[in-house]
């Protein structure tokens, strides 16, 4: 897994704990799942095993499990959050299937205690997050070969839904959005429906939140920048020594919703968005 996914997602499954670990019926597959390549000390960098002497370790199962896990988590993301764009979806999936998260799950299932490993490296390798995560993926690959995709999906769907929900919350915050999305308009609501406001919104990210509310209501916005040659009320771009001050108005469906100034266009839009949110009844915090 990429190094950028080192954050662990903490999930509380309550008194019942994680979903039960499905049993692998085949003794041969189960033994291979828990065999690290150091156990037999076979040479590495071999292009292909001989047909009558396949590698007995779990690397091929880990490779298979990684692909199966990615497929199932991607399907769950589409099912749970069907309107996510690819960028945020990729970030969420990266958190969910990152090595630190998988290693944590592996430890909770106590998989590393069953790993067959070279005695001289046992302590170091069992403590490695990479090895712990690889072992979990190896178990997924072994279960897939033993019982097929449906068996794996039934288990992982129950296991990963809470992880996906928490990762979704984390990535929303990273994008400057509140942890939960605004309420969905009820069936039959008119186009003027306004979602109930959250108790507070962050002092940053007003622009993202404003755009999201407008998109949910199918309202059109136009950002009007000014250069000083306009009617009173629109100050335009004012040069303060060497730094320009941008002024903008947010026009929603032809109606002024807010105005703002800033040293960048985005900062000016953010200030205008803050006024727009207040006009829509969303309680936003004041800047410190």
Is a pLDDT exceeding 80 seen at residue 97?
Answer: yes
Is a pLDDT exceeding 70 seen at residue 215?
Answer: yes
pLDDT in the model for residue 242: 47
pTM of the model: 0.63
CATH of the domain at 142: 1.10.1520.10
Alpha-carbon distance 226 to 237, whole Å? 6
pLDDT in the model for residue 126: 84
pLDDT in the model for residue 4: 41
In a domain, 12, yes or no: no
pLDDT in the model for residue 195: 47
* Least confident span in 108-112, 165-169, 191-195: 191-195
**Rounded to a whole number, what is the largest CA-CA distance in the chain?**
86
Based on the domain organization, do 221 and 158 belong to the same domain?
no
Based on the domain organization, do 33 and 167 belong to the same domain?
yes
In a domain, 115, yes or no: yes
In a domain, 194, yes or no: no
Based on the domain organization, do 141 and 217 belong to the same domain?
no
Higher pLDDT, 220 or 85: 85
Total of domains in the chain: 2
- Contacts of residue 250, defined as CB under 8 A and 6 or more positions apart, other chains included, come to 210, 221, 222, 223, 256, 257, 258, 259, 260, 269, 272, 273, 275, 276
Based on the domain organization, do 62 and 167 belong to the same domain?
yes
In a domain, 124, yes or no: yes
User: Which residues constitute the domain of residue 171?
Assistant: 27-42+55-175
Q: Which pLDDT band holds residue 7 (cuts at 50, 70, 90)?
A: low
Based on the domain organization, do 159 and 34 belong to the same domain?
yes
Percent of the chain with pLDDT over 90: 42
Q: Which pLDDT band holds residue 85 (cuts at 50, 70, 90)?
A: very high
């Amino acid at each position: 897994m990429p190094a950028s996914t080192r954050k662990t997602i903490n999930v509380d499954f309550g008194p019942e704990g994680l979903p039960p670990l499905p049993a692998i019926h085949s003794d041969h597959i189960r033994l291979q799942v828990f065999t690290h390549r150091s156990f037999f000390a076979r040479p590495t960098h071999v292009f292909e095993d001989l047909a009558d002497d396949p590698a007995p370790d779990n690397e091929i199962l880990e490779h298979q499990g990684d692909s199966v896990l990615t497929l199932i988590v991607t399907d769950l993301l589409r099912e749970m959050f069907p309107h996510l764009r690819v960028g945020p979806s990729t970030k969420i999936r990266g958190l969910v299937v990152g090595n630190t998260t998988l290693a944590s799950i592996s430890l909770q299932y106590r998989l590393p205690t069953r790993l067959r490993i070279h005695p001289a490296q046992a302590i170091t390798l069992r403590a490695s997050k990479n090895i712990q995560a690889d072992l979990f993926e190896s178990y997924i690959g072994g279960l897939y070969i033993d019982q097929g995709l449906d068996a794996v999906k039934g288990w992982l769907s129950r296991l990963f839904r809470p992880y996906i929900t928490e990762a979704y919350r984390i990535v929303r915050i990273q994008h400057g959005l509140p942890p939960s999305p605004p309420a969905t308009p009820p069936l039959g609501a008119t186009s003027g429906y306004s979602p109930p406001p959250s108790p507070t919104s962050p002092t940053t990210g007003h622009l993202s939140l404003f755009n999201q509310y407008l998109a949910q209501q199918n309202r059109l916005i136009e950002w009007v920048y000014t250069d000083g040659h306009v009617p009173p009320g629109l100050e335009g771009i004012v040069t303060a020594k060497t730094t320009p001050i941008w002024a903008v108005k947010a026009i929603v469906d032809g109606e002024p919703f807010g105005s703002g100034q800033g040293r960048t266009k985005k900062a000016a839009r953010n200030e205008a968005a803050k006024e727009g949110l207040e006009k829509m009844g969303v309680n936003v915090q004041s800047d410190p």
